[in-house]
A and B are shown apart, each in its own frame.
Chain A
Amino acid sequence: MSAETADNAAPAPKPAAARAGRPVGAWRMPLLVRIAAAILVLVSLVALLAPLLTPYGYEETDLLYRLKPPFWSSLSIEGHLLGTDKLGRDLLSRLLIATQVSLALALLGTLIGAVLGTFLGILAAHRGGWVDEVVMMLVDWQAAMPFLIIALAVLAFLGNNFYLFLALMGLAGWETYARLTRSLVLSAREQGYAVAVRALGARPLRLYGRHILPNVMGPLIVQLTLNFPQTILLETSLSFLGLGIQPPLTSLGQMLGDGRDYLLTAWWLAVLPGGVIFLTTLSMSLFGDWLRTRLDPTQR
């Protein structure tokens, strides 16, 4: 073999950081994104550890101490850091549990939507023909209907339980994943490596699972981070309308809805859960935006 010449003298092995094909400093975050990431970490920790952190049971009522203000007010009472609600339940405990419930719902819902949408997108791209047309018709159909209306109808007719609600959360965002995945897969399939793997005799599972999916993962992950706040907001809206999480279980949206009646007398009942929603979704959006610019080679 006369292989020792010109082209073997090419690139020397690079350190691990350069292996990903970008300069090391490129992952440095701007301050705003750092704050967002910190908030996300904090909120996630709170959601994970909520049952351990609550000073009271979130359902424990104490009618003698109703609507007590948080610690900064002179009227606040010992032991209830964020005050109490209309039934005398500890607001901090409820806020912690609500964060857990809302985040878990949004996370599961987003994941269900992502998995379902990605699967249907791959299916549409792989099979083409009528399968493709049916999937894309469903996508268009869902994109054309305001999802809140669909959710209202389903919950009003089929009643409300946790799993149905979860399924609805999952259905909320699938069409964006399906559309995105389909187009990504269609172009990836034409890449030489996909043709070569097919020519090697690979089955579709190997082709999509090992080659195509890992190569189109970047945009999908970004879509996930952008879709997540939308799912939180959807859960919030439905719970606010009384169609989401039912009492005594609580969620951020439901707390917001409950607090609405006391906005003039006890504004913190609505503002505190509203603040958590606001900060979480904003942080997630900021982080997702940053991730998108990082992963998109055209913006690097």
Chain B
Amino acid sequence: MSAVLAEATEPDEPRPLLRVAGLARRFSLPRTSLFGPRPELTAVADVSFDLAAGETLAVVGESGCGKSTVGNLVLNLLSPSAGSIRFDGEDLASADDTRWRDRRRDLQLIFQDSRSALDPRLTVEAQVAEGLEIHKVATAADRKIMVAAMLEAVGLGGDLARRYPHELSGGQQQRAVIARALVLEPKLVVCDEPVAALDVSVQAQVVNLLRDLQRNLGLAYLFISHDLSLVRHVADRVAVMYLGRFVEVAECRDLFAAPAHPYARALIGAVPAARSRRGRLVRPLRLEGEPPSPMNPPSGCPLHPRCPFATDLCRTELPALRPRADGRSVACHHAEASQADGLEAQGGSDASQPLKVFP
């Protein structure tokens, strides 16, 4: 395994809720010519991470970098091409059907498009009750009470519960989706762009709701998003993904204060708030060109064609995601140079300041 994480090195660490090791997923595409080989697309390549109970790990990256695929793999809605996913110490990919269905109670998802996420032909109430019915939780009467309580908790009490999805606003729909996922009291929720489709004002409400519920229910979130200001608000740790690989995993605060990987710098430097707060926190790094096609990734470090720090080493050798003394893991041959360059302008004194974007 080329990627080892900081947590894994401490022997007395309690067992993580989720341990992902060497995860990869390739998709074969239709043939382009009659007899040629089927081209392959590597959506996720060698991703490893741990997620503790009650923790929020955000996965960020631009569209097409494979972050949603990571979510689907963790949920076991896709099967991995390589690697393992251990949830609560149990390898889910090899679990049989019945076991897999059982474990769904603890592993839920919330995704972006709440309108399509709800069955248009059932009331909100009926859809929230469904998970309880499937897992035969409690009696029918108790289930009703649980559903009502959950809907109340997400602010969809009373008359709203008996409506059909199209009779609700976008924010209400997303709360219904959240209620459906959380009524089973899962341990881990994969949030795939949970608020990207909502208005900014509603986004804040939904995000705060997610945080309240996390505190009350002890949930762990795998939070997939491209919205960095949002991620900074919710995440404990952040993994930056580029072309199917994690290039930097760090505490949220550390990452936003001083990203080490050149790609992380480019991403974070592009967030307006990251620059405007106290002069320039992170000197933005401009990457040239477009991300390369995942069907034909460059040799060595996937970022080297666009990276100003690239050397011959980068062109030939893929940097491993190495844990560093400061607790973060970075996959870059020149991380120190890149990080120092990013902080040059402001001296790094703000690194300890918590950053708040949301009120």
Contacts and interface: CB of A to CB of B under 8 A. Distances in A.
A7 B102 contact: no
Contact of B130 (A3, A200, A214): A200
B169 A10 contact: yes
Interface string B163-194: 11011111110010100110010000000000
B210 interface: no
Contacts of B171: 6-7, 10
A196 B170 contact: no
Interface string B267-284: 000000000000000000
Interface stretch (B86-94, B115-123, B230-238, B255-263): B115-123
A282 to B, nearest CB: 33
B316 interface: no
B77 A198 contact: yes
Interface string B104-138: 11011101011111111110000100110011000
B31 interface: no
29 contacts: A2-B208, A3-B155, A5-B201, A7-B169, A7-B170, A7-B171, A7-B172, A7-B202, A7-B205, A10-B168, A10-B169, A13-B167, A191-B116, A192-B113, A192-B115, A192-B116, A193-B127, A195-B77, A195-B109, A196-B117, A199-B77, A200-B104, A200-B131, A201-B103, A201-B135, A202-B134, A203-B101, A206-B134, A211-B122
- Which bucket holds chain A's interface residue count? 20 to 34
A21 B165 CA distance: 11
B212 interface: yes
Contact of A3 (B115, B154, B166, B167): B154
The CB with the most chain A CB atoms within 10 A, among B77, B116, B159, is that of B116
Interface of A: 1-8, 10-11, 13-14, 19, 21, 191-193, 195-203, 206, 210-211, 214-215
Contacts of A7: 169-172, 202, 205
A201 B163 contact: no
Interface residues of B, number: 53
Contacts of B41: none
A215 B119 CA distance: 8
Interface of B: 75, 77, 100-105, 107-109, 111, 113-122, 127, 130-131, 134-135, 153-155, 159-160, 163-164, 166-172, 175, 177, 180-181, 184, 199, 201-202, 205, 208-209, 212
A179 B160 CA distance: 38
Contacts, number: 107
Contacts of B159: 13
Given A1-B212, A211-B119, A200 B166 contact: no
A13 B181 CA distance: 25
Contacts of B130: 197, 200, 202
A196 B179 CA distance: 12
B212 A192 contact: no
A199 B109 contact: yes
A215 B167 contact: no
Contacts of B101: 201-203
A10 B159 CA distance: 13
B211 to A, nearest CB: 12
A192 B167 CA distance: 18
A211 B306 CA distance: 47
Nearest to A190: B116
B111 to A, nearest CB: 6
A42 to B, nearest CB: 33
Given A3-B209, A10-B172, A196-B117, A201 B167 contact: no
A13 B163 contact: yes
The CB with the most chain B CB atoms within 10 A, among A10, A211, A214, is that of A10
Nearest to B114: A192
Contacts of A196: 109, 111, 117-118, 177, 180-181
A193 B117 contact: yes
A22 to B, nearest CB: 11
A96 to B, nearest CB: 40
B111 A6 contact: no
A201 B154 contact: no
Given A2-B208, A11-B169, A200-B130, A192 B117 contact: yes
A214 B155 contact: no
A19 B165 CA distance: 11
B357 to A, nearest CB: 18
Nearest to B131: A200
- Pairs A-B, 10 closest by C-beta atoms: A3-B155, A7-B171, A201-B104, A10-B169, A192-B117, A192-B116, A201-B101, A193-B119, A200-B131, A7-B169
